[in-house]
Structure 1
Amino acid sequence: MAVEGATPSVLSAGEAIQLSHGLHPDPFAALGPTSDGRHVAAHLPGAESVWVVNDTDEAPLQRHPVGEGIFVGAILPHYRLRIRWHGGFVEEREDPYRFGPVIGSLDEYLIGEGTHRRLWEALGAHPITHELVDGVHFAVWAPNAQRVSVVGDFNSWNPTAHPMRARGATGVWEIFLPGLTEGTVYKYDILGASDERLPPKADPVGFGSEHPPATASVVRRLGQHVWQDEAWVRHRSRTNAAEAPMSVYEVHLGSWRHAPGGERPLSYRELAVELVEYAADLGFTHIEVMPISEHPFDGSWGYQPIGLFAPTIRYGTPQEFAAFVDAAHARGLGVIADWVPGHFPTDQHGLGHFDGTALYEHLDPREGFHPDWNTLIFNYGRPEVLNYLVSNALYWLEEYHLDGLRVDAVASMIYRDYSREAGSWIPNRDGGRENYEAIAFLRETNAVAAEEYPGTAIIAEESTAFPGVTRPVDQSGLGFDYKWNLGWMNDSLRYFGKDPIYRKHHHNELTFGITYAFSEKFMLPISHDEVVHGKGSMYGRMPGSHADKLGNLRAFYGYMWGYPGKKLLFMGQEFGQPSEWNHNAELDWGVLQDPGHLGVQAVVRDLNRLYREQPALHRGDTRGNGFQWLLVDAVDDQVFAWVRRGDPGDAHVVVVLNLTPVARTGYRVGFPMPGRWREALNTDSALYGGGDRGNTGAIETESIPTGTEAQSAMLTLPPLSAIYFVEDLT
């Protein structure tokens, strides 16, 4: 029955019009129960009639004479809304405007201060039970917006249906929408400070996304995977330590292998079996996945993310990605993910101009626009943006148990003039080119990650000689655990790309790197960057015939695995894929029908095994006393030799390279210790498709001084080969 006194005068005409147009400055003050506790107001665009009901009573609400979809009337205790929609459909639902705030005072304080390390627990879309009712809590930072609404199929994408509550000086807007569940598709509709209605935005802290090219966020419940990796996490510091063997298999999940029929890439669950088993069988210690964060354009390979908190749906749900990581841990493999905090794309649904202002980016394009990639640059000097990025790094380590992050394009962050012409960049406060705010951000991220997730590794892709990249933060360094050695990579690929007849003129390209090899904790990368944009493949870079290419490639990997530094190899290069990487197709698995390519794969497997088995090959990866040249000046012969040392008592390992197509017999090389040395690996072995020339399994040194050593041995050096000799301590 209708209740006396329930009249539209509960809301003024002005308020009703503001609500119907989504312009009311405080919708929670106008909608839901009134301050006197006697009436209720509801905004339900498209409703034909509305009642308030509880378990025993009901009362109709009256349509307000001004304002589309506004209904008012007497309140009932513990009420719900019964709605008859145009077309006759009737439903009952809770009134979101009768619920109190969800975000607490501590969250408000930390968000306002920019120090909320668990930002994802306060912001984003969380299925929760609030005031005994199930639903989804939405919260987003948009400090300069006049109005923020949640829109989706549940309200016909109507921006006036669910305007959110502003949380004071924090700039956060929130609302609890009862009845919504995991899987709900949504965006934020924002009215900017200048009365502009912005394109609907995906959630900056959304945990899921629609399948591209669709761009909405999807409600995902965190913490659903039941982890089985407690022992792994407890001891993973052994896997990431500077003294440990670290051999990383870099993968683009979408093009590693396709499902039968080739119509789709493997899913996270399929990769948890096939990729994990493959990488483990080849002896790698880690899988590094190219950016897993959601991104709109396949051709960016994930390096232009919109959805830093959402594992891409291309291969499955967030829970299935967690299962992939868990499966890798169960097989003894760490998982590293590429992380891209340096820039973001200009797509309308993304972070750019998020609340009508340059919120996440800089206003001035000389600081806020990246000319190389046509992307926007984060404003690292803004505390809330710094907080957003630092908490995002922690999110991946916490929620998905990642063992590390590889930080993309560090040089583009730490230099204000990166890839800019004179006059097109703004110097720092001291007139220099260093980006102090970005440097502070990187230090903060690395310090907090080390504090909260000891044993994880943060790795820098940094292409300059910026000092102290891997020096601890408390020693004025950036605090990274490792840095990609791009100087080594460039020099080595230039050298091996030369016809062997000319290599003697480029001798220093293989020797110079040792002069700085221990200035940082280095990782040696042959990454995806070296097999795209017309660069070909590792196989294609090698000179000569098919057999020569395979021999050179086996020798290159022998050189790489014997050189100090952690290892990283991009997928397909482990078997010498002939073609350049194509992100739209799977790897050229068919070439493994060729014994030569199968041999390259076998040599990588055995190099990984030897690298892990012999402490001398990994304990000294980042310290100068782990390496010594034995033969460095045989320029005409292009023969190189060095010794790798571990801790006292570890067997020494001598690596000898012959990088010409000329076999050399009776070639004397100095050895650091007398006795018997086992030929532990020879890239010319018939097992790898080589000519099977070598040293009959072992050599004995002689007391004939050679170079700096009192002992030496006469060796047979096959053409285009690398040989490993391990000291026999028995």
Structure 2
Amino acid sequence: MRETPVLVRPGDADALAAGRHGDPFAVLGPHPVADGAVVRCFQPQAASVELLDGDQAVAMTRVHPDGLFAVRLAAEPARYRLRVTGRDGAVVESEDPYRFPPLLGSLDVHLLVEGTHHRLYQVLGAHPRAFDGVTGVGFAVWAPNAERVSVVGDFNGWDGRRHPMRLRHEAGVWELFIPGLDHGTIYKYEILARGGVMLPLKADPCGVWAERPPKTASLVWGQPPRPWDDGEWMRGRQRRADRHAPVSIYEVHLGSWRRRPDEGNRPLSYLELADELGDYVSEMGFTHVELLPVHEHPFGGSWGYQPVGLFAPTSRYGNPDEFRAFVERLHQRGIGVIIDWVAAHFPSDPHGLHWFDGTHLYEHQDPRLGVHRDWNTLIYNFGRTEVLNYLVANALYWLEEFHVDGLRVDAVASMLYLDYSREPGDWLPNRFGGNENLEAIDFLRQMNQLVYQEHPGAMTVAEESTAWPMVSRPVHLGGLGFGYKWNMGWMHDTLDYFSKDPIHRRYHHNQLTFAQLYAYHENFVLPLSHDEVVHGKGSLLGRMPGDEWQRFANLRAYYGFMWTQPGKKLLFMGGEFGQSSEWNVDASLDWHLTQYPVHQGVQRLVADLNRIYRTEPALHQFDTDQRGFAWIDCNDRDNSVLTWIRRAIDPHDFVVVAGNFTPIAREGYRVGVPEPGFYREILNTDSEWYGGSNVHNNGGVEAEDVAWHGHAWSILLRLPPLAVSVFKRDG
């Protein structure tokens, strides 16, 4: 039989049948030969195959018992289809994936190799498209060290021999157009590593939709994009994120904010959250929400901080279009959306990025660089061009495709230091012998530059817990380029202070004043985040000392202090009504508490603090500028009293704040003020409206011509117990 070697070489046939062939396009599909053309297909489920060329049907010859078919034609067919008769007698007609040209254009390949393809999610991943009038899905995945990569799913019985991909050697990208597939197709990649090692099936690193956990496959998203209806917000959001703007952030874990106990304790969907969360945040006066990571993640107990699908909004609450609708509806209410963005590490789940093509592709090979000891996760190799490109493109993706208004970058400190949480000998120094992660620094700078360059209305926020300099200063000045940085030192000092019995606070007075020594080195956000209400720490309310009245008064005083200090604000959900239990990711917030007056009082206070923060320029315009703050008296430690001024850009627009952090009301307490006039009491955390004892100043006091605290004028106040009072000069 001389014909068989012409139709297919035995080695090729055996390799295809065994799923070991790394170049399927060299064998399958149409190929010219000396006397015409040969067309080959691999259909292991077929009893017979016919090639349909126009009106003609030509039987193909089985040239390998496992299902390789071939036929010789007089000329290479321009277009053809396959008619496959299965062993069960069923007949299916389909296009041949191996007759179509490459997916990636030369420019895409060039940018991928260069590491500057900032829209790589538009070419990698799975995308419905058409070739030569034929609709289907184009798949592309970076796996440069694999011997063979196939697309598998229900559509081919999860048989990796059916749809092996073409390798674009110059970019290390495997690609394949599969006709007939569409929106909702479930798929993974089957990867044969070097040495013939079969890896666990992998989800798509650039997949934009995934099965709902605990399932782990990717899904094709093929719905046409809806036109956005948030133009008014987008046009004005730059001023809303400005240093001079009020930024008060409500931090939310979507799955546990509110649940439906009558429906199996299910979390709300994106569309339900769009209305319920949107209405609530609007009523409470927050300017932004910050979402704990919404990237797809396998383990709910990680709260999203161990993502596998960086490009996929988690399907726990809906599909990508519904997440777009969520963002859009919040924008329509005047609320910005920030997401926690995890670029520091990823989990070792077998369907994820770990050992992706049988090599340490995304992570470092050396565990002294590539393993995060605290979380048992893997650290991205920021020095690898393709990995850096992947992460930068992902940052832009959320801003462009979902209109999010900011990225709060998680665990920045772990990225900056090579010896972060490591013992001596368990880390490698950089090329200069230091502990700075130079590649991570370059990555953060590049990411921030591109975000602000291409999306001027967006913001980036660093969760950075060390004294690394210039985190929120521009790159061209030597900074990391973030817009803001969490002030972790302020949080630790002040929370520790308010957790102490008031009788001891005089000895810890500096915990409230120390932050002013560095408050303007960065553009700070003052965070009372989820990290303060987990891992046995209890709730904020639970950490306040004293009986019930004192605990609530302390919490209200703490919020009054926070909202009147320089810096943007962030409060984790539940804190706004004084949740008494520690946050539980698997349960709803304790909304039933809001029926009780003391919890209602905290809720009203937070809403009013947000109101005066937004409406009083003195409380926000100089949040990051020393010109906006001055102590009146920061030395009255014996009485645990602090007094200060917040100023607006207009030097005559200011507020005076007095904080009494003991349970003793103080009568006739004189406070120096810079100008004469009537000082109206615009907020008092001890008001009965908030559940307090209602010690107040009868609406305000008139300044007296008595010099005090270095000022020519002064006011004589009643300082309520465990409370903060705010005064504004009329006129």
- For the superposition of Structure 1 and Structure 2, which TM-score range results when normalised by the shorter chain? over 0.9
Normalised by the size of structure 1, how large is the TM-score?
0.98
1:597 has 2:599 as partner: yes
Match of 2:562 in 1: 560
1:147 has 2:148 as partner: yes
Match of 1:542 in 2: 544
Q: 1:419 is matched with which residue: 413, 418, 421?
A: 421
Normalised by the size of structure 2, how large is the TM-score?
0.98
1:63 has 2:65 as partner: no
Please give the alpha-carbon distance, in whole angstroms, between the structure 2 residues aligned to 1:221 and 1:654: 57
Secondary structure of residue in 1 paired with 2:425: coil
Match of 1:46 in 2: 45
Contact 1:289 1:338 in 2 (8 A): yes
1:445-484 paired onto structure 2 within 5 Å: 445-484=447-486
Match of 2:83 in 1: 82
Contact 1:225 1:323 in 2 (8 A): no
Q: Which one is further off, 646-655 or 534-543?
A: 646-655
Q: Which one is further off, 665-674 or 304-313?
A: 665-674
Match of 1:238 in 2: 239
How far does residue 678 in structure 1 lie from its aligned partner after superposition?
1.0
1:327-366 paired onto structure 2 within 5 Å: 327-366=329-368
What are the ranges of 5 or more consecutive residues in structure 2 without an aligned counterpart?
Answer: none
Please give the alpha-carbon distance, in whole angstroms, between the structure 2 residues aligned to 1:553 and 1:77: 76
Match of 2:281 in 1: 279
Over 3 Å counting, the alpha-carbon distance change for 1:86 and 1:317 in structure 2 is same
Match of 2:655 in 1: 653
Secondary structure of residue in 1 paired with 2:345: coil
Match of 2:394 in 1: 392
Secondary structure of residue in 2 paired with 1:316: coil
Secondary structure of residue in 1 paired with 2:181: coil
List per-residue Cα deviations over 1:438-467 (Å, max 9, x = no partner): 000000000011111111000000000000
Q: Which one is further off, 49-58 or 678-687?
A: 49-58
Q: Which one is further off, 512-521 or 49-58?
A: 49-58
Please give the alpha-carbon distance, in whole angstroms, between the structure 2 residues aligned to 1:205 and 1:424: 32
Please give the alpha-carbon distance, in whole angstroms, between the structure 2 residues aligned to 1:163 and 1:67: 19
Give the partner amino acid of 2:495: L
Give the partner amino acid of 2:601: G
Please give the alpha-carbon distance, in whole angstroms, between the structure 2 residues aligned to 1:77 and 1:715: 91
Contact 1:181 1:219 in 2 (8 A): yes
Secondary structure of residue in 2 paired with 1:83: strand
Please give the alpha-carbon distance, in whole angstroms, between the structure 1 residues aligned to 2:32 and 2:543: 75
Please give the alpha-carbon distance, in whole angstroms, between the structure 1 residues aligned to 2:37 and 2:503: 94
Match of 1:614 in 2: 616
What are the ranges of 5 or more consecutive residues in structure 1 without an aligned counterpart?
Answer: none
1:52-201 paired onto structure 2 within 5 Å: 52-64=51-63, 66=64, 68-74=66-72, 77-201=78-202
Secondary structure of residue in 1 paired with 2:485: strand
Please give the alpha-carbon distance, in whole angstroms, between the structure 1 residues aligned to 2:179 and 2:136: 4
Please give the alpha-carbon distance, in whole angstroms, between the structure 2 residues aligned to 1:498 and 1:209: 47
Give the partner amino acid of 2:59: P
How far does residue 605 in structure 1 lie from its aligned partner after superposition?
0.1
Q: 2:32 is matched with which residue: 30, 35, 54?
A: 35
How far does residue 566 in structure 1 lie from its aligned partner after superposition?
0.1
How far does residue 170 in structure 1 lie from its aligned partner after superposition?
0.5
1:26 has 2:23 as partner: yes
Give the partner amino acid of 1:28: F
Q: Which one is further off, 498-507 or 8-17?
A: 8-17
Please give the alpha-carbon distance, in whole angstroms, between the structure 1 residues aligned to 2:305 and 2:693: 43
How far does residue 224 in structure 1 lie from its aligned partner after superposition?
1.8
Secondary structure of residue in 1 paired with 2:644: strand
List per-residue Cα deviations over 1:30-86 (Å, max 9, x = no partner): 10111235221000121111111145221111111x351101114555211111112
Secondary structure of residue in 2 paired with 1:446: helix
Contact 1:144 1:171 in 2 (8 A): yes
Please give the alpha-carbon distance, in whole angstroms, between the structure 1 residues aligned to 2:679 and 2:5: 96
Please give the alpha-carbon distance, in whole angstroms, between the structure 1 residues aligned to 2:78 and 2:309: 41
How far does residue 223 in structure 1 lie from its aligned partner after superposition?
5.8
Match of 2:628 in 1: 626
List per-residue Cα deviations over 1:629-676 (Å, max 9, x = no partner): 011111110111100001125521111101000011111111122111
Give the partner amino acid of 1:33: P
1:288-367 paired onto structure 2 within 5 Å: 288-367=290-369
Please give the alpha-carbon distance, in whole angstroms, between the structure 1 residues aligned to 2:157 and 2:340: 37
How far does residue 190 in structure 1 lie from its aligned partner after superposition?
0.7
Task: Name the structure with the higher strand share.
Answer: 2
Q: How many residues align?
A: 725
Please give the alpha-carbon distance, in whole angstroms, between the structure 1 residues aligned to 2:116 and 2:319: 29
Please give the alpha-carbon distance, in whole angstroms, between the structure 2 residues aligned to 1:22 and 1:489: 57
Match of 2:685 in 1: 683
Contact 2:183 2:223 in 1 (8 A): no
Contact 1:615 1:650 in 2 (8 A): no
Contact 1:167 1:174 in 2 (8 A): yes
Structure 1 segments, 4+ long, off by >4 Å, are 5-8
Please give the alpha-carbon distance, in whole angstroms, between the structure 1 residues aligned to 2:548 and 2:27: 77
Contact 1:651 1:728 in 2 (8 A): no
How far does residue 496 in structure 1 lie from its aligned partner after superposition?
0.1
Please give the alpha-carbon distance, in whole angstroms, between the structure 2 residues aligned to 1:708 and 1:286: 39
Please give the alpha-carbon distance, in whole angstroms, between the structure 1 residues aligned to 2:27 and 2:367: 41
Give the partner amino acid of 2:587: A
How far does residue 417 in structure 1 lie from its aligned partner after superposition?
0.2
Please give the alpha-carbon distance, in whole angstroms, between the structure 2 residues aligned to 1:469 and 1:457: 13
Give the partner amino acid of 1:595: P
Secondary structure of residue in 1 paired with 2:388: helix
List per-residue Cα deviations over 1:216-274 (Å, max 9, x = no partner): 11111376232101221121011111000000000000000012515210000000000
Match of 2:646 in 1: 644
Secondary structure of residue in 1 paired with 2:130: strand
Contact 1:43 1:161 in 2 (8 A): yes
Please give the alpha-carbon distance, in whole angstroms, between the structure 1 residues aligned to 2:294 and 2:228: 20
CA RMSD of aligned residues (A): 1.3
Give the partner amino acid of 1:720: L
Give the partner amino acid of 1:211: R
Please give the alpha-carbon distance, in whole angstroms, between the structure 2 residues aligned to 1:728 and 1:90: 85
List per-residue Cα deviations over 1:131-184 (Å, max 9, x = no partner): 211000000000111111001111111111111001122000100000000101
Please give the alpha-carbon distance, in whole angstroms, between the structure 1 residues aligned to 2:200 and 2:725: 61
Give the partner amino acid of 1:146: E
Please give the alpha-carbon distance, in whole angstroms, between the structure 2 residues aligned to 1:26 and 1:330: 51
Q: Which one is further off, 608-617 or 123-132?
A: 123-132
Contact 2:23 2:167 in 1 (8 A): yes
Please give the alpha-carbon distance, in whole angstroms, between the structure 2 residues aligned to 1:194 and 1:618: 62
1:480-495 paired onto structure 2 within 5 Å: 480-495=482-497
Give the partner amino acid of 2:389: N
Contact 1:13 1:67 in 2 (8 A): no
Match of 2:412 in 1: 410
Secondary structure of residue in 1 paired with 2:307: coil
Contact 1:187 1:203 in 2 (8 A): yes
Contact 2:20 2:196 in 1 (8 A): no
Please give the alpha-carbon distance, in whole angstroms, between the structure 2 residues aligned to 1:223 and 1:116: 23
Secondary structure of residue in 2 paired with 1:468: coil
Q: Which one is further off, 43-52 or 506-515?
A: 43-52
1:698-717 paired onto structure 2 within 5 Å: 698-717=700-719
Match of 2:668 in 1: 666
